[in-house]
Structure 1
């Protein structure tokens, strides 16, 4: 892995890993993105938080995180309520999420203002 000896931001390795009810993106310098979800009723998850470090935005990392949760939901036969603003916008503009979108519950009832808005990671 000689290429990792020299830091090039565009070639920096970003590692995706599942941790509990979250998918985390990290580099050698720490966490650069995450998406979290929780079970709200049998067969339904709420995506309640998505974050990508501003230095890593514009690389479709948030969408990749969302796609991981959606694929897991499909594999497990779950529906998703996109409570965070990012997930909701992606669900609205991409019809490929229609099969997992649970539209019967109001997202305002499930929204957490501390995790749904923009977050800063320390």
Structure 2
């Protein structure tokens, strides 16, 4: 059995990665490109903190409501956020624990002291 030297062996804490097709890898790359926009990433982090409506996100991040709506449409299409209607507003939150873990783990990684190799 060949293993990829760039992928750590799986353990209980780190289950094996699924085998990804070229199409899956392209979709994964597109998802990371989507997260490469600072405004989009700020919106996603805002939705991670707590569910929020478009006008609340726009006010908190000092962005226009139309820009926030546009970014949320893209994030929703990529299954990174979901919207839940309550009365007259739709409240957006991070779609699931996978997305939450990626965001939290990367934030922690970024703020840690680098290790010496």
The answer to whether the superposition gives a TM-score over 0.5 is no
Q: Which has the higher strand share?
A: 1
Shorter-chain TM-score category?
A: under 0.3
Say which structure is richer in helix.
Answer: 2
TM-score (norm 2): 0.26
What's the TM-score once normalised by structure 1's chain length? Answer: 0.26
